[in-house]
Structure 1
Amino acid sequence: DLKGTPDPIITEALTVSPDGLETDPSTPAPGQKEGSSEEDLDSLCDGDMTSQQIKRTVGNGILKLGLWFLENLKPSPEQPNVIISPLS
């Protein structure tokens, strides 16, 4: 039963840096700005944002994640074709 098991390819993409070294996805690399903070997330929950602002914020987050993947995931002999879709 694999329903509760994360996809090993996705897990690897989140925990292995482009140079093949394992990294902790919860901490940014040296010189890399942290993607979000609890303060940023709190602003989504305090009721001050409109539905349109929340949609735009989520869309920007998906865009940033997609760009990060394009910049950092490199094709390898095992996986020569890297296809990234935030909606798949």
Structure 2
Amino acid sequence: MIIGKVVGNVWATRKEEALNGLKLLVIKPIDYYTDKEFQTFVATDNVGAGIGETVLVVTGSSARKAIDKADAPVDATVVGIIDEVEVNKDAL
């Protein structure tokens, strides 16, 4: 799973038919432990997340299972909106 922030929306008037009805969001991954920067990616939204919210994202076959569309060309799906993250950097 990936923790990320919703930084945008994607609108596509022409797309694969299996994507019809799915909300697409731009996600910026967050690494709370090292503060590394990662590239943004697009994920479908299964929970009604919006710009500025911190979310939990699944990838791969779990992403398709989360939206109940095994044949959809989807490799990332938002499955949760995060209220709080606690990281103990001294744990290692």
Scaled by the length of structure 1, what TM-score is found? 0.25
Scaled by the length of structure 2, what TM-score is found? 0.24
Query: Which structure: greater strand fraction?
Result: 2
Query: Which structure: greater helix fraction?
Result: 1
Q: Which has the higher contact order (CA 8 A, sep 6+)?
A: 2
Q: Which has the larger radius of gyration?
A: 1
